[in-house]
Amino acid sequence: MYDTNIENIGKMIRYYRKSANMSAEDLGMAIGKSKATIARYENNEIVLDVPTIIEICNVFNIDFNDICTSLMHTVEKDSNKNPFNNNLLYLYYISKNGIVISSLEITENKYSNHVLMKNGLTNNKYKQEYTGVLESSYNTAFFCLTNAISNPGLDKFQIEIDLHSKKDNKYYGMFLGVANYTHKPTARKCIITKELITSEKNLVQLFEELKIGSKELQSIATTQYWDMLNNTIEEYVINL
């Protein structure tokens, strides 16, 4: 159901603008409006038409529903806390038959959780930086990250973590992106921890956990979609 309450729509525009670190002037320039007009949108002094809402959605790279859904959904989005209760996390996923380790540095502020991802950690160095945001609900954490230096071929990551999957201080989820060696969309398992894992024994164990299991492959064949079963983990990448 769409929310026609102008006050809620104004709040959502302000929420996404601040989450994107944009000023009212920046947003106005992006859609051909003045800073004063953006302020009037956010303060509920002007009723927006549908084309203007779509323009704003395009600037924030969000869906029309994200601004115009019901109040219940709006309240959930405003409850945007860091569910891990830790501002430094470590991400693990498989690439080319090995494990890639990345750090996720979270900075919390009033409106959102900003994330700096240092991808490919090795010997106190890393390959690339990505920046983005962390959002969460009561059962899912969602990271959306973009190449911080350049963005060839829309170099973006999305990470979705099942917050109820925690086992042995590890969270399990799915890593979506474009493979840098095939430039094709990929979906793979990932694990997040609060402490960096470096021992060879534990990394070998992680590697086995990050594989897609036979039961999952059977489920994919039956349902035609991937419902991750993190308790039977045995083989890994799906190239689309």
Residues of CATH 2.40.128.120 domain(s) within the chain?
88-239
| Amino acid at position 151, single letter | N
Q: Is the pLDDT of residue 71 over 80?
A: no
Where does the chain show beta strands of DSSP type E? 88-95, 98-108, 113-119, 128-136, 140-147, 156-167, 170-178, 185-193, 238-239
For the 6-78 domain, the top CATH level (class) is mainly alpha
Of 15-19, 93-97, 221-225, 226-230, least confident by mean pLDDT is 226-230
CATH fold group of domain 88-239 = Lipocalin (2.40.128)
DSSP reduced 3-state for 67: helix
Which DSSP symbol is given to 3? -
Burial (0-12, 13-18, 19+ Cβ within 10 Å), 153: exposed
Q: Is the pLDDT of residue 225 over 70?
A: yes
Contact 126, 102 (CB under 8 A): yes
Q: How far apart are CA 236 and CA 240, in angstroms?
A: 13
Q: How far apart are CA 189 and CA 187, in angstroms?
A: 7
Cβ neighbours of 60 (radius 10 Å): 19
Q: Is the pLDDT of residue 202 over 50?
A: yes
Mean pLDDT of 11-25: 89
Residues of CATH 1.10.260.40 domain(s) within the chain?
6-78
Structure tokens at 151: 């963005």
Q: What are phi and psi of 100, to 5 degrees?
A: -100, 130
Which residues share a beta bridge with 141? 136, 161
pLDDT digit string, tens, across residues 132-170? 889 888 888 999 998 877 665 568 889 999 998 888 899
Mean pLDDT of 81-105: 92
Task: Indicate the pairing of strand 185-193 with strand 88-95.
Answer: antiparallel
Q: How far apart are CA 176 and CA 12, in angstroms?
A: 26
Residues above pLDDT 90, as percent of the chain: 35
pLDDT digit string, tens, across residues 104-141? 999 987 667 899 999 999 888 988 899 988 988 888 89
pTM of the full structure: 0.64
* Mean pLDDT of the residues in the chain: 82
Which residues share a beta bridge with 144? 133, 158
